[in-house]
Structure 1
Amino acid sequence: MKKLFFITPIGIDGSQERRDSDFVMSTFLEPVAKKLDLRVLRADLLNDSNSIDDTIVQQIETSDIVLIDLTGLNSNVMFEFGIRFGLRKPFVVMTQNINELPLDVRNIRALEYTVTAPNIKNISDRLEAMITVALDNISTESSFSSKGEQMGQELALNAIQSGDFSVINNFIELANKLGIEPNNK
């Protein structure tokens, strides 16, 4: 079973950060992970005899995918995000407010969510799609045969994040007009 490590502001028991983290984990992440046959891990729920820092870094390095909640721009979360980003391994970013993300992070696809009256199905479906695409990149990242394939993946990720698939439909129409057949690998 593949591992998904959830990097998130955790806070102390009973804090708003902990309630939000628990809500995201139980409402969005665990159901999606179950569908995708992923084991979810979070730092405060790990039973390990190593130091907390060593355990977290080990999970960041060895997990198949990492979900990073940048809500509130918690310094620990940003540091851990930097480690995963530097490893060039699959990750998905989520936040309660995309506009609060720093400029150099804003260009990374992020799933925006809310803990107040969320559209659970929509967020869960988009999260599942983003995780699936990120995991698929493990096997295809080094085998891109053209810039077009990379652009197609970007197009798909944009559509998944925004929920607007009109650009993909327009692209398909253009490909059909040009007589371009899909390459089904």
Structure 2
Amino acid sequence: MIARQVRPEADRPQRCFVVGPIGDPYAAHGSPEREAYEHHLGIFEQVIAPACEKYEITAVRADGIAHAGDINEQICRHVIESDLVIADVSGGNPNVMYELGLRHITGKPTIHIGEAGRLPFDIASIRTIRYQRARSHLVGARREIEGALEVGLRDGFELLTPARVLRGLQTVTEPSSSAQSGNVENVNDEDPPGLLDNFAAIEDGLGEMDSEIEAITKTMETIGALTGRANAEVADLTEANAPASAHLAAVLRYAKSLSTPAGELDKVAAVFAERMATLDSGVRAALGLVEVTPPDKRGEGAKEFLEQLMDLDESAQTCLSQITFFGESAGGMLRVSRHLREPVKDISAAVKRMASAIACMGEWAGKARVLAQGTAE
């Protein structure tokens, strides 16, 4: 049986903060950013706001926050403090997933909606109201939200897994009077993971990323050694006034030797980037969990998690500087011979994958450093 958060009549939700992609209202007509803005504004005005109004709940989006101040801080405050959150998870927008992770750990009512066919797989197990862009489907989605609100207001909203983890943690650290007297009652038939279990699961993924960075570094060392030998051979040929055909033969040998490690470099970089995308929402949610937990209550698991993020970022930045050098050198290789085109293509693709993934990792580490300083203080 899933635990429910039952609200008394006097504590009915009055404010609903809507989390979801916003788009850009000032972008050019027809651009993806402008279309995203129009679409999600339509979902808000035609689906979410009317459903909330039926139960006298005021709905607001991030672009409807009237108060001046730091918009990121205001959004986080609304996510954490609002009576109700409705989250449009279409497309798995990273900002939306981060805000959703913060919301889940509060244990407060949250309703998921999303466009059919665009739901992120990593939250597929959570009940989500699906909609399609056709007007008739939007009406159906609005009615489903109304139904979810009616059931939640009447029977209580379900606690999602992170909130149940925290609730279970509180039960362990702060036993009830009945438990202290020996009358222990099992109020939850599920066996949800504990806080350390969640950290451990993420840390396993981060450990794999560390291994992938090591593999990428070794592959670049191999490419570097091959390049060094090729340069030495070309230098000897030049000194010996060898004909162009001899130089071309040397380049062909170099291209052939480079083909396998260059392909491997791109392959490992692709796995690294994919793992980054898979872990991103979980890591951000875990960082949010650490953030809302008082420093003296975090324990060693949280400390080790933050340290792992910072250490991993240091390794990644070193790797990035090396692979960026290879990327800059790759352009020069193309001017030497067309036979180098395929390995250079693989190296360039790996550079792009790694640069994007490591930039995201830098955001994790930046947040981890701030939180680690709070723990040290």
TM-score by length of 2: 0.35
Distance apart, 1:131 and its partner CA: 2.6
Aligned-residue identity in percent = 22
Query: How well do the aligned residues superpose, as a CA RMSD in angstroms?
Result: 2.6
Q: Deviations over 1:41-75 (max 9, x none)?
A: 11011111220111101111111110000111111
Q: Secondary structure at the match of 1:100?
A: coil
Please name the residue that 2:141 is paired with.
Answer: 123
- The alignment of Structure 1 onto Structure 2 pairs a total of residues equal to 145
Q: Secondary structure at the match of 1:118?
A: helix
Is 2:94 the partner of 1:75?
Answer: yes
Between 21-30 and 112-121, report the one with greater CA deviation: 112-121
User: 5 Å matches for 1:129-148?
Assistant: 129-135=147-153, 136-137=155-156
Question: Which one has a larger percent helix, Structure 1 or Structure 2?
Answer: 2
Aligned residue type for 2:50: P
Which of the residues 119, 125, 128 maps onto 1:110? 128
The reply on whether 1:37 has 2:56 as its aligned counterpart is yes
Q: Contact (CA 8 Å) 1:65, 1:91: kept in 2 or not?
A: yes
Higher strand share: 1
Give yes or no for contact 1:23–1:115 (8 Å, CA) kept in 2: no
Alpha-carbon shift at residue 23 of structure 1 (Å): 0.7
Structure 1 residue aligned with 2:18: 6
Contact 1:98 1:106 in 2 (8 A): no
The 1:137–1:18 alpha-carbon spacing in structure 2 relative to 1, beyond 3 Å, is same
**1:100 CA drift (Å):** 3.4
Are 1:61 and 2:80 counterparts?
Answer: yes
TM-score, normalised to structure 1, is 0.69
Task: Identify the range of structure 1 (10-19 vs 32-41) with the bigger mean alpha-carbon deviation.
Answer: 10-19
Q: What does 1:163-182 align with in structure 2 at a 5 Å threshold? A: none
Aligned to 1:26, which of 45, 57, 60? Answer: 45
Query: Which stretches in structure 2 are left out of the alignment for 5+ residues?
Result: 1-12, 28-33, 168-185, 190-377
Contact preservation (8 Å) 2:86, 2:111: yes
- Measured against aligned partners, the alpha-carbon deviations of 1:57-94 in whole angstroms (never above 9, x if no partner) come to 11111111100001111111111001001112110001
Q: Is the contact between residue 65 and residue 134 of structure 1 (CA under 8 Å) also seen in structure 2?
A: no
Corresponding residue of 2:115:
96
Deviation at 1:117, TM superposition (A): 3.7
Contact 1:98–1:110 (8 Å) recurs in 2: no
Matched with 1:177 is: none
Name the SS of the counterpart of 2:136 in structure 1: coil
Contact 1:28–1:124 (Cα < 8 Å) also in 2:
yes
Report the Cα offset of residue 98 of structure 1. Answer: 5.3
Greater C-alpha Rg: 2
Shift of 1:138: 5.4
Q: Which moved more, 1:76-85 or 1:115-124?
A: 115-124
